[in-house]
Chains A and B, each alone.
Chain A
Amino acid sequence: MSELPFDPLLVAIVTPLALALLIALGLPKRWSVRLAYVAFGVPLLLALHTWWHFSAVEQADGYAFLRTYDTGLTGLGISLKLGLNGISMPLFLMAAIVGLAAGLYAIQSGAERLKIYLMLLLIMQGGLLGVFASVDVFFFYFFHELALIPTFIMVGIWGGRDRNYAAMKLTIYLTIGAMISLVGLIALYVKSGAGSFDLIVLKRHLAANPLEVTWQNNIFGLLIFGFGVLVSLWPFHTWAPLGYGAAPSSAAMLHAGVLKKFGLYGLIQVALPLLPAGLGHWAHPLAWLAVIGNVLIVGLVTMAQRDLKQMIGYSSVMHMGYAFLGIAAGSAVGIGGVVLMMVAHGLSVALLFLLATSVHHRTHTFAMDEMGGLALRAPVLAALFVAGTFASIGLPGFANFWGELAIFVALWSFSPVITVLAIAGVVISAIYGLRAAARVFFGQPTDHFNEVATRHPPADLRWAERIPALLLLAALFGIGLWPKSLSEPINEALAPAPQIARQSR
């Protein structure tokens, strides 16, 4: 049963968008919530289907499930082309998992104006799935923006402290990033001379007639900084902790977990194969920015955080540094490690944001100084949080371990000095991760916590909160124990990359 009577990718993208449209047209709340389970669930089922049958289905140009739809822009070489290759399939699957978890968590959150909240989340989910399923660079960008807009609105309406400021800052930074990368993509489109935004056509065309090296370098630079802002490359990262600190949990889960990977994915899927000379030019500056800025400086800043959500936000900035390092290393091992790490980080950061909000419901604060001893009252929450922290640190057994390991291996042949510095970062992340878990859940309950606990006795995680958390943890664990299920397609997709690079030299 590997052949579905419909295009699984299109249906996965359209289902959440269709429900969002229905809600906008005035679907009653009861039905909105019921259908939301379906609209978040269907993409996951379809994503699992594509993952399971990935190696079995026929592949054209490295892509499976390839379909093309005309949207009236074929004259410009733009068409909605959907397909998955070994790099996008794991991310597509991850987007579907995190999406379902974020959706489930949102439904139980009982947010004010829940219908609009769900509608925006559904739009975001549709966009996210579209990003990873698009083979056309135009639609890749298009879906990213589609997913980005709801983030701003959700931060602005449902956000916490400083939400107006955070929403504004987020909007401006991310627009800067998006505009720079848009200029880069336009430059790529025009300069390639292929007259098409189709990644497969571009790849073929540029393999036959590569761009001049200066142009490759310039466009690569635009993409690095454009995408870099979106992925919170140091020093353009300040929007991230602030934005995540203010964002409502489901939006933070989807943005930090999935949407932020857009930039990295763009570098891997678009910039590296199409502009092979650009990496050689930019690898060292990028690697130093990432290791000194993202890993060490932001790592130390993370250690100093007292706010749980801000800390998770900073830690995600720090982990992006490893991803940039893997890209800078450039070898198939390093890039493969980055893809694996993107999946793992997406799952683990979403898990941590989810649990942080659950902690907040029980302690009524994000300040870690005012917490303590929650493990006695909520042992399941404590266990899940500790597991999530272990995953985030990169303990063996979790998916993150394999990603980071591969990155470090690749990095060693790139630059041993940077590798040593990067590994020092792991120690930093272990310190802040474990210290946070210890402060929040163990030790003596503080006065604040006792006071809150007497007024609202904290209960353990309800099943409605447990299920999305367990879903994420199960995925982390599953990949950790069986990385081959994802790494094999990734390797296949990356295998031809060096050949293209060689031809173009």
Chain B
Amino acid sequence: MTLEEVRLAAADNLWSAIAPELILASLALVLLVLEMVLPKRHHGLIPDIASAGILGTLLGLFLNWHPVTLGTETFSGLLQHSVTGQVMRAFFLLAALFTCLLARITLARQPMPRVEFYHVLLVVTAAMMLLVQANHFLMLFVALETLTIGLYILVSYLRTTTASLEAGLKYLVMGALSSGLLLFGIVLLYGVTGNPALPLHSGNAMHYEELGLFLTGNPDNFLASLGIVLVLAGVAFKIGAFPFQVWVPDVYQGAPTPVTAFLAVASKGAGFAVLLALCGPQGPFTPYAWLVMPILTAMAGATILFGNIAALTQHNVKRLIGLSGVAHAGFLLLGVVAAAGSPMAVGAVYFYLFAYLLASFAVFGVMAHVAGTDDAGQELDHYAGLSRQSPFLATVLAVGLGSLAGIPPLAGFMGKLFVFIAAFQAGARWLLLIAAAGVVVSIYYYFGWIKAAFFDAWTPPAETTAPAKPAGTPVGWVAGLSLGTLALASIVLGFYQGPLGQWLMLW
């Protein structure tokens, strides 16, 4: 390749188009430099700098909400910039911001270096932001691997505790398997699309549009079907959908609480953004709807049932929220299924994700405060009497759980409502009934948690000792403000959806 060709290929490398990602990545490097340069007593500043950097990037994103690149492809078609891409960028930045907040609370109790955590978190966030804008399997895989490898580190971050290491190992094995499946699927699709013997074959076979064209021309190719199934399986691992959900409870329990939150929210969001890009209305897999839709439908129903039923018996709150996260993945899959027949489904999924973000971080924020040094052993019993000790935390918890359960007037209810309406429009009626049943089941365990925090349980007689409760962390003003904002946002978004609905093109 001559220099001239390279220059031509790089002609549409618009670096300004990925400025937010670049800022995050350089900030990550700056943090490492700061650790070396700053005297040790000032190391406490580093999390603040990371949070401030994320907040700044978020503000910058809002200020330049309609960049010139919107609606175009850059980097030779590797990336495509759209409004939903902007929304998801904001989604990941918010998730990273709140994860930083949780990390300040949780990591303070652990004998661990702290800087690397923020470093890795920033890199992973940047990778997620690229992932949702990917328009090419190469970009998809590189971004996905960057974030997955970062998450391996984060999951096993508490390297002195066995639970975290075990979680890290499980996540590594499962993650590697899913990456392998995904890669195999991509390779199959690439190979078959590049086959010159087939009509509409393409030299740029990893590009979504070219792939879509090829699949339209070959609507029943066996290798392509196999590739699609494998890609779906790989993505299903990431979102924790049945039957690829086995890793979820252990990893969620063992990972440090902020990482659990990040996994639950950001990683799931990324998975669904990819799924929508591939199987959504304009996605390359649309011609294979005959194959994709039955798989997704079965997956959605099974995921909803499995997640909710398995969560019923949990006493460890991290496992509980992990399994309830599986159930939420099922509800979101319902939205993806509906995307084939309902114009509002895609927006509904994104709205659901936002409501999930607000509610989940509210709940995780409370968990981070209630937990003691044993990060993996957070039990429902620890919440007894929370409403007397800290009415504020109890209220935030109730709002968060209520929103997760989908109780009006909270944002989670609107998310479920939108998804349900979309599902009905798309004719997925049986799935809708399963989902409705799932909501009822979910009430049981969410309400059980609220009950543990609010209602006075039967106290054992004086001679038996009461179960030891961890000391917990008092609520600082930053954390208090953030949690209050999260809870309030869940309420306000339930009453008034305002511009979010328009951005997401709900109507």
Contact = CB atoms under 8 A, between A and B. Distances in A.
Question: Do A and B bind?
Answer: yes
A72 B424 contact: no
A186 B344 CA distance: 14
Given A73-B501, A163-B455, A182 B420 contact: yes
A175 B432 CA distance: 15
A71 B455 contact: no
Interface string B184-198: 000000000000000
Nearest to A73: B497
A71 B447 contact: no
B408 A156 contact: no
A180 B440 CA distance: 10
B433 interface: yes
Contact of A72 (B402, B432, B448, B497): B497
A168 B451 contact: yes
B451 A164 contact: yes
A164 B455 contact: yes
A175 B443 contact: yes
Interface string A139-176: 00110011001001100110000011001100110011
Contact of A167 (B425, B451, B457): B451
A180 B498 CA distance: 28
Contacts of A145: 407-409, 413
Interface in B411-427: 413, 417, 420-421, 424-425
A28 interface: no
Interface residues of B, number: 35
Given A172-B443, A175-B440, A183-B432, A142 B421 contact: no
Contacts of B451: 156, 164, 167-168
A156 B447 CA distance: 11
Contacts of A141: 408
A148 to B, nearest CB: 9
B62 interface: no
B75 interface: no
A187 interface: yes
A76 B507 contact: yes
A186 B420 contact: yes
A76 B506 contact: yes
A176 to B, nearest CB: 5
A13 B456 CA distance: 32
A175 B507 contact: no
Interface in B396-414: 402, 407-409, 413
B496 interface: yes
A149 B421 contact: no
Given A142-B409, A157-B455, A172-B443, A183 B433 contact: yes
B455 A142 contact: no
A167 B455 contact: yes
Contact of B443 (A24, A142, A171): A171
Contacts of A72: 496-498, 501
Given A72-B498, A179-B439, A182-B436, A190 B424 contact: yes
A142 B417 CA distance: 11
Given A172-B444, A180-B436, A183-B436, A149 B402 contact: yes
A156 B432 contact: no
Contacts of A288: none
A73 B451 CA distance: 33
Interface string B230-241: 000000000000
Given A141-B408, A145-B407, A190-B424, A75 B501 contact: yes
B247 interface: no
Contacts of B290: none
B454 interface: yes
A191 to B, nearest CB: 8
B503 interface: no
A189 interface: yes
B65 interface: no
Contact of B407 (A24, A75, A149, A180): A149
Residue of B344, B421, B436, B506 with most chain A CB atoms under a 10 A cut-off: B436
Nearest to B493: A72
Given A76-B506, A145-B413, A175-B440, A152 B420 contact: no
Interface string B446-466: 011001001111000000000
A378 B305 CA distance: 56
Contacts of B506: 75-76
A164 B458 CA distance: 10
A413 B402 CA distance: 47
Given A172-B444, A183-B432, A186-B420, A146 B408 contact: yes
Contacts of B444: 168, 171-172
A187 B501 contact: no
A70 B307 CA distance: 37
Given A72-B498, A141-B408, A146-B408, A152 B455 contact: no
Interface string A44-63: 00000000000000000000
Contacts of A183: 420, 424, 432-433, 436
B496 A71 contact: yes
A76 B413 CA distance: 15
A477 B317 CA distance: 54
A233 B407 CA distance: 23
Interface in A128-148: 141-142, 145-146
B429 to A, nearest CB: 8
Interface in A340-368: none
A142 B409 CA distance: 7
Contacts of B501: 72-73, 75
A145 B402 CA distance: 12
B441 to A, nearest CB: 9
Nearest to A191: B424
Contacts of A180: 436
B421 A189 contact: yes
Which of A24, A172, A179 has the most CB atoms of chain B within a 10 A radius of its CB? A179
A142 B408 CA distance: 6
A189 B502 CA distance: 21
Nearest to B447: A171
Contacts of B420: 182-183, 186
A337 B451 CA distance: 40
A136 to B, nearest CB: 13
Nearest to A159: B455
Given A71-B496, A75-B507, A183-B432, A176 B440 contact: yes
Interface in A67-84: 71-73, 75-76
B436 A152 contact: no
B424 A186 contact: yes
Nearest to A138: B417
A24 B491 CA distance: 14
Interface in B118-175: none
Contacts of B448: 168
A176 B441 CA distance: 9
A86 to B, nearest CB: 27
Contacts of B457: 164
A171 B450 CA distance: 12
Contacts of B443: 171-172, 175
Residue of B395, B408, B433 most packed against chain A (CB within 10 A): B408
Nearest to B439: A179
Contacts of B436: 179-180, 182-183
B439 A175 contact: yes
A157 to B, nearest CB: 6
Interface of A: 24, 71-73, 75-76, 141-142, 145-146, 149, 152-153, 156-157, 163-164, 167-168, 171-172, 175-176, 179-180, 182-183, 186-187, 189-190
Interface of B: 344, 395, 402, 407-409, 413, 417, 420-421, 424-425, 432-433, 436-437, 439-440, 443-444, 447-448, 451, 454-457, 495-498, 501-502, 506-507
Given A146-B408, A157-B456, A186-B432, 5 more contacts: A75-B506, A76-B344, A145-B407, A172-B444, A183-B433
5 contacts: A73-B497, A75-B507, A76-B507, A168-B447, A179-B440
Closest 3 CB pairs of A and B: A75-B507, A145-B408, A156-B455
